[in-house]
Amino acid sequence: MKPTREVDCLGMRCPLPIIVIAKEILNSNNGELLRLLSDDPATWPDLQAWSRMTGNTVSRQSETNFIVVRQNQSGQDSR
C-alpha cells in the first residue's frame, strides 16, 4: 500500500517533525499511510516514542524517509 500523503519536514529540527506529523495524522483516516521526510537525527527515536504513546505505527524506510500509519480510531489527539 502506498502512502496517501507526503509530509516534508526536511531541514526542521526537533521537536518540529513530530509536531507536524502529529497534526497531520489527526487529519487522516484509520489505516492511512503518510510518508514523513525528515533529516533530523532525533526523528527516528522521537517517532518510536510517539508511536508507543499514541498507538500509531511507524517504520523507517531510510535515514530520511519514514512511514506513519494511523492506528487509533478514537479521534483523540495523537500527540
Task: Report the catalytic residues.
Answer: 14
| Cβ pair 69, 56 in contact under 8 A | yes
The residue behind cell 492506528 is 71
Sequence-distant (6+) residues with CB within 8 A of 10 are 37, 38, 39, 64
